[in-house]
Structure 1
Amino acid sequence: MANGTVYLIGAGPGAQDLITVRGARLLAQAQVVLHDALVSGEMLALCPQALLVDVGKRCGQQSARQDWINQQLLDYAAQYQVVVRLKGGDPMLFGRADEELSALEDAGVAYHIVPGITTALAAAAAAKAPLTRRGVARSVALFTSSTAPEHAEPMPVTPDADTLVQYMGGREAIATAQRLLGHGRAPQTPVVVVENCSRPEQRIVRIDLAQLAEGLTVAHGPVLVMIGEALRLRAGQQAERAPD
């Protein structure tokens, strides 16, 4: 019977100082930390006392099965008092939290959830690009086209919102742009691509929807793509330099 507590903690977008104070405090107390692939090394430096277990899912590579991760949480909760499941961004958004919470609930394991800064908000801040703008954009949709094989859709649905934020938006974002153009979105609609958000190797590229549809994007690390008129440069704002 488990007597430990599992903490689902959002690590934020990557930078160590963007985790919450509560999250950092719990990491310092953790005996075991099961972490995602996108959790940075500097973030893991906050828990040098803990046993680190890499349960990351990597695109195009062999990844940990979700049922195995669920069982690991249960097994460690039976052995340790403080178990942390450390997820990139916020644990409640595209983080498979539903499966893990269900497993913990079914086994009667106590848990707490510590929110984190989701990458959409960190990327907007990094690009100095509000996702809403008075008189221009009053709705935002966060979505991903990446799904588990058993839940794959024949044609992913693009949300209907003023500003779209596509997580894991490498090649998938190109298809999104093509669909938007086909549905009548203006080719000049601003697009902001943020790669490796908040990390030292962060890159920000500003293009338009037509260029995105042609495949002009960056894809050398975790990519988030923001689309919409709210992202248009302000009069006094300078554009970021495109990568070499």
Structure 2
Amino acid sequence: MTTISNGPAGEVILVGAGPGDPDLLTIKAHKAILAADLIVHDGLVDPRILALAPDTSRISVAKSRSRHTMRQEAINDLLIAEARRGKRVVRLKGGDPFIFGRGGEEAEACIAAGIPFSIIPGISAAMGSAAGAMIPLTHRSVSSAVTFVAGQCQGLAEQNWAGLAGPGRTMVIYMGVATADLIAEKLIADGVSPDMPVAVIENGTRPETRALRTLLTDLGAMICREGVKSPAVIIVGMVAARGTASNALLSLAHVAEANA
């Protein structure tokens, strides 16, 4: 890496905080958090992880749907400016920095500015959430491929998902709660069976986690009636029929019987 010459040398460390559970941090990530001069963190980073370094300065750059505390370009500028002041800046991200974490953009900004940086990967939300619900993302009998997609980035209409979901495949959708109806319509229009199992895992690996299972055609309705909120991942594929997710269709049938 190129070290800057105009002042004390700082650095940026892009750290994956994992899906929530502090025990799922890597040892290297834990060490970086403890050694940080400044932590710049996303809103999805669990407070218990931030509590590991209670006296370290922090800046939140939390994002939510259609509302960003700080634009990405401003975050890049912040990381570079603080590193140029000689600080060890830990950019702490939920999940893994390079899976829908914009870590690539921040790494490119550091390269362009001549700022030393390193990357510490984390357990992704997909892997952590699926494991917590005992859903295998691959299974020799039903799935030999996995795809990660974003449910709102760039708009669904611009994304070509043809062939990514269906028999023998697993699709994991990030940021899809608000667009679940459109996601189901898009997949069914691409030829995925309306009866394809899906699982929705809310707050994966955290104490308040819950996992629900239904069919693709019921995805949007289930999210609405169960009050599912982000952060959540949606797993589409035959693997979703496995594991410990609660059967939301069975629950709905019980309600219908009680009201009959």
TM-score, normalized by length of structure 2?
0.85
* Equivalent residue letter for 2:128: A
Calculate percent identity across the aligned residue pairs.
36
Q: 2:41 aligns with which of 32, 35, 47?
A: 35
Q: Deviations over 1:81-110 (max 9, x none)?
A: 411000110001111112211111111100
Whether the aligned pair in 2 keeps the contact of 1:7 and 1:83 (CA below 8 Å) is yes
Whether the aligned pair in 1 keeps the contact of 2:82 and 2:89 (CA below 8 Å) is yes
58-67 vs 88-97, which moves further: 58-67
Q: Which stretches in structure 1 are left out of the alignment for 5+ residues? A: none
Aligned to 2:99: 93
Aligned to 1:203: 210
Aligned to 1:63: 69
CA distance in 2, matches of 1:238, 1:103: 42
Shift of 1:14: 0.9
Q: 1:114 aligns with which of 120, 125, 128?
A: 120
Structure of greater Rg: 2
Q: Does 1:19 align with 2:30?
A: no
CA distance in 1, matches of 2:210, 2:26: 24
TM-score, normalized by length of structure 1?
0.90
Q: Which stretches in structure 2 are left out of the alignment for 5+ residues? A: 1-5, 253-260
1:1-244 matched pairs, under 5 angstroms: 1=6, 3-147=9-153, 151-152=154-155, 154-158=157-161, 160-161=163-164, 162-212=169-219, 214-217=220-223, 218-233=227-242, 239-240=245-246
Structure number with the higher helix fraction is 2
Whether the aligned pair in 2 keeps the contact of 1:158 and 1:176 (CA below 8 Å) is no
Q: Deviations over 1:148-177 (max 9, x none)?
A: xxx556443225231110001102232121
CA distance in 2, matches of 1:50, 1:100: 22
187-196 vs 60-69, which moves further: 60-69
Whether the aligned pair in 2 keeps the contact of 1:31 and 1:80 (CA below 8 Å) is no
Whether the aligned pair in 2 keeps the contact of 1:141 and 1:160 (CA below 8 Å) is no
What is the CA RMSD across the aligned residues, in angstroms? 2.0
131-140 vs 23-32, which moves further: 131-140
